[in-house]
Amino acid sequence: MKHALITASALALLGAPQFALADTSQDFADSFLPTAFVDAPELVECELSDGTTSECYKMTVDNKPDEFTIGPFCPSTTSEDGGLWNWDGDKAGLYRIDGAFLQMLDEQGFHFYDADGTVHISDPRTEQPDVDNACLQASLDDDVTMTLLIPAHPKPAAKPSQLGTVAKVGIALDGVPIFADAPSVLDTGHMPALDVCGGHIDPGGWYHWHATATDIGTALNSANVSADCALQQDATEKFAYAFDGFPIYGSRETNGSMPEGLDECGGHDEGEGYHYHASEGFPNLPTCLKGVVAENNFTTTAAGGIGSEHGGGPGAGQMPPGMEEAAETLGVDPQDLMQALGAPGQRPDLAEVAEKLGVSEETLRNTLPKPGR
Ligand SMILES: [Zn+2]
Ligand SMILES: [Zn+2]
CA distance 48 to 45: 10
Helix, strand, or coil here: 113?
A: strand
Would residue 72 count as lying in a domain? Answer: no
Ligand nearest to the Cα of 278, by number: 2
Ligand nearest to the Cα of 246, by number: 2
Domain that holds residue 267: 8-67+140-299
CA distance 122 to 138: 7
51 and 177 assigned to the same domain: yes
pLDDT at position 314 is 36
89 and 23 assigned to the same domain: no
119 and 193 assigned to the same domain: no
Q: Which of 279, 299, 319 is the last residue of a domain?
A: 299
Span from the CA of 278 to the centroid of ligand 1 (angstroms): 18
Span from the CA of 164 to the centroid of ligand 2 (angstroms): 23
214 and 96 assigned to the same domain: no
Span from the CA of 169 to the centroid of ligand 1 (angstroms): 11
Ligand nearest to the Cα of 268, by number: 2
Ligand nearest to the Cα of 277, by number: 2
pTM score: 0.79
188 and 45 assigned to the same domain: yes
Span from the CA of 256 to the centroid of ligand 1 (angstroms): 30
Residues 6+ apart with CB under 8 A from 246: 19, 22, 154, 267, 273, 274, 275, 276, 290, 291
Span from the CA of 287 to the centroid of ligand 2 (angstroms): 15
Helix, strand, or coil here: 54?
A: strand
Is residue 334 within 8 Å of 297, Cβ to Cβ?
A: no
Span from the CA of 357 to the centroid of ligand 1 (angstroms): 24
Residues 6+ apart with CB under 8 A from 172: 178, 209, 213, 239, 240
Ligand nearest to the Cα of 252, by number: 2
Ligand nearest to the Cα of 195, by number: 1
CA distance 160 to 262: 14
Which residues of the chain, if any, have pLDDT below 50? 1-23, 312-318, 372-373
Maximum distance among all Cα pairs of the chain, rounded to whole angstroms: 69
Ligand nearest to the Cα of 256, by number: 2
Cis peptide before 286 (omega within 30 of 0): no
Span from the CA of 276 to the centroid of ligand 2 (angstroms): 7
Mean pLDDT of the chain: 88
pLDDT at position 20 is 45
CA-to-CA dists, residue 74 to 33, 123, 130, angstroms: 29, 11, 16
Span from the CA of 19 to the centroid of ligand 2 (angstroms): 14
Is residue 236 within 8 Å of 253, Cβ to Cβ?
A: yes
Span from the CA of 259 to the centroid of ligand 2 (angstroms): 5
Ligand nearest to the Cα of 194, by number: 1
Q: Which of 264, 299, 334 is the last residue of a domain?
A: 299
pLDDT single digits (tens) 44-99: 999 999 999 999 999 999 999 988 899 999 999 999 999 999 999 999 999 999 99
Span from the CA of 342 to the centroid of ligand 1 (angstroms): 12
CA distance 65 to 77: 29
CA distance 86 to 89: 9
198 and 282 assigned to the same domain: yes
Span from the CA of 167 to the centroid of ligand 1 (angstroms): 10
- Residue among 167, 175, 202 at smallest CA distance from 286: 167
325 and 353 assigned to the same domain: yes
Span from the CA of 283 to the centroid of ligand 2 (angstroms): 18
Would residue 304 count as lying in a domain? Answer: no
Is residue 150 within 8 Å of 245, Cβ to Cβ?
A: yes
Question: How many distinct structural domains can be found in the chain?
Answer: 3
